[in-house]
Amino acid sequence: MLAVLRNRTYRHLFAAQLVALTGTGLATVALGLLAYDLAGADASAVLGTALAVKMVAYVGIAPVVGAFAARIPRRALLVTMDLTRAGVALTLPFVDRVWQVYLLIFLLQSASAAFTPAFQATIPEVLPAERDYTRALSMSRLAYDLESLFSPALAAGLLTLVSYDWLFAGTTLGFLASAALVVSAVLPKPAPAETAGPAGGVRARAVHGTRLFWATPRLRALLALDLAVAAAGALVFVNTVVLVRDHLHRSAGAVSVALGAYGLGSLAAALPLPRLLERARDRSVMLPAAFALPVLLGLVAVVTAGPPTGWTWPLLLTAWAALGAACSAVLTPGGRLIRRSTAPDDLPAAFAAQFSLSHGCWLFTYPLAGWLAAGAGLPVTAAVLGAVALAGATTAAVVWPARDPARLTHVHADLPAGHPHLADAHRARSGWLHGHEYVIDRHHRHWPRSGRTASS
Give domain status of residue 195, yes or no.
Answer: no
Residues 346, 277 share a domain: yes
Instruction: Check which CATH number belongs to the domain holding 360 and give it.
Output: 1.20.1250.20
Is residue 75 within 8 A of residue 186, CB to CB? The reply is no
What's the CA gap between 161 and 316, in Å, rounded? 34
Higher pLDDT, 147 or 101: 101
> Could you give the strand order of the β-sheet that contains 431-437, starting from the edge strand earlier in sequence?
407-412, 431-437, 426-428
> What's the one-letter identity of residue 226?
D
pLDDT band at 176 (very low <50, low <70, confident <90, very high): very high
End-to-end CA distance of the chain: 40
pLDDT of residue 131 exceeding 80, the answer is yes
Residue 326 burial (CB count, 10 A): 26
Q: Give yes or no for residue 188 having a pLDDT over 70.
A: no
70-87 as b/e, with b when 16 or more CB fall inside 10 Å? bebebbebbbbbbebbbb
pLDDT digits (tens, 9 = 90+) for 310-341: 889 999 999 999 999 999 999 989 888 888 88
pLDDT at 355: 82
247 in a structural domain: yes
pLDDT of residue 453: 44
pLDDT in tens, 222-273: 999 999 999 999 898 888 878 887 888 887 678 778 888 888 898 889 888 8
190, 222, 239 - which closes a domain: 190
Do 260 and 386 lie in one domain? The reply is yes
As a whole-number percent, the residues of the chain with pLDDT over 90 amount to 25
Report whether pLDDT(127) > 60.
yes
pLDDT, position 196: 45
pLDDT at 456 over 80: no
**Within this chain, do residues 255 and 132 fall inside the same structural domain, yes or no?**
no
User: Are residue 368 and residue 413 in the same domain, yes or no?
Assistant: no
Q: Are residues 57 and 6 in the same domain?
A: yes
Q: How confident is the model at residue 452 (pLDDT cuts 50, 70, 90)?
A: very low
In 3D space, the residue among 297, 366, 293, 378 whose CA is nearest the CA of residue 330 turns out to be 293
Residue 454 confidence (pLDDT): 40
Which residues are CB-neighbours of 233 under 8 A, at least 6 positions away? 323, 327, 362, 365
Residue 197 within any structural domain of the chain: no
273 in the same domain as 213: yes
Which of 156, 190, 224 terminates a domain? The answer is 190
> Which has the higher per-residue pLDDT, 201 or 204?
204
196 in a domain, yes or no? no
**Are 161 and 228 members of one domain?**
no
Q: Give the CA-trace dihedral at 286, 394, 362, 115, to 10 degrees.
A: 40
Given a cut of 60, is residue 202 above it in pLDDT?
no
Q: HSE on the CB side for 443, CA within 13 Å?
A: 18
383 and 442 fall within a common domain: no
pLDDT band at 399 (very low <50, low <70, confident <90, very high): very high
pLDDT at 67: 63
150 shares a domain with 67 = yes
Q: So what's the pLDDT on residue 394?
A: 98
Domain boundary among 389, 404, 419: 404
Q: How confident is the model at residue 361 (pLDDT cuts 50, 70, 90)?
A: very high
Classify residue 428: in a domain, yes or no: yes
The burial of 314, by beta-carbon neighbours within 10 Å (0-12 exposed, 13-18 middle, 19 or more buried), is given as exposed
Which residues share a beta bridge with 434? Answer: 410
* Cα distance between residue 434 and residue 426, in whole Å: 7
- Cβ pair 147, 25 in contact under 8 A: yes
Dist. CA 129–CA 148, nearest whole Å: 29
Nearest to 199 by CA among 190, 191, 208: 208
Model pLDDT for residues 136-173, shown as the tens digit of each residue? 888 887 787 777 667 766 776 777 787 878 888 989 99
Domain membership of residue 17 (yes or no) is yes
Half-sphere CA count of 55, side-chain side, radius 13 A: 17
Residue 212 CA to residue 344 CA, distance in Å, equals 13
Which domain, by its residues, includes 435? Answer: 405-456
Pick 362 or 2 by higher pLDDT: 362
User: Do 89 and 169 belong to one domain?
Assistant: yes
- Total length of the chain: 456
**The most confident of 48-57, 91-100, 311-320, by mean pLDDT:** 311-320
pLDDT at 336: 87
| 343 close to 195: Cβ distance less than 8 angstroms | no
Question: Is residue 198 over pLDDT 60?
Answer: no
pTM recorded for the entire structure: 0.78
Question: What are the two backbone dihedrals, phi and then psi, of residue 452, each rounded to the nearest 5 degrees?
Answer: -140, 55
CA dist 145 and 236 (Å) reads: 14
Categorize the per-residue pLDDT at 434 as very low, low, confident or very high, splitting at 50, 70 and 90. Answer: confident
pLDDT at 129 over 90: no
Residue 319 buriedness (CB in 10 A; 0-12 / 13-18 / 19+): buried
Per-residue pLDDT band for 194 (boundaries 50, 70, 90) equals: very low
Q: What is the mean pLDDT of residues 369-382?
A: 87
Average pLDDT score, the chain: 82
At a CB cut-off of 8 Å and minimum separation 6, what does 44 contact?
none
Q: In the Cβ-directed half-sphere of 346, how many Cα atoms lie within 13 Å?
A: 25
Contact indicator for 348, 69 with CB cutoff of 8 Å: yes
Residues 396 and 286 in one domain: yes
Q: How many structural domains are present in the chain?
A: 3
* Burial state string for 242-254 with b = 16 or more CB within 10 A and e = fewer than 16: bbbeebbebeeeb
What was the pLDDT predicted at 342?
Answer: 84
310 lies in some domain: yes
Q: Return the higher-pLDDT residue of 19 and 426.
A: 19
Same domain, 274 and 392: yes
For the cut 90, the answer to whether the pLDDT of residue 379 exceeds it is yes
Determine the pLDDT at residue 400.
92
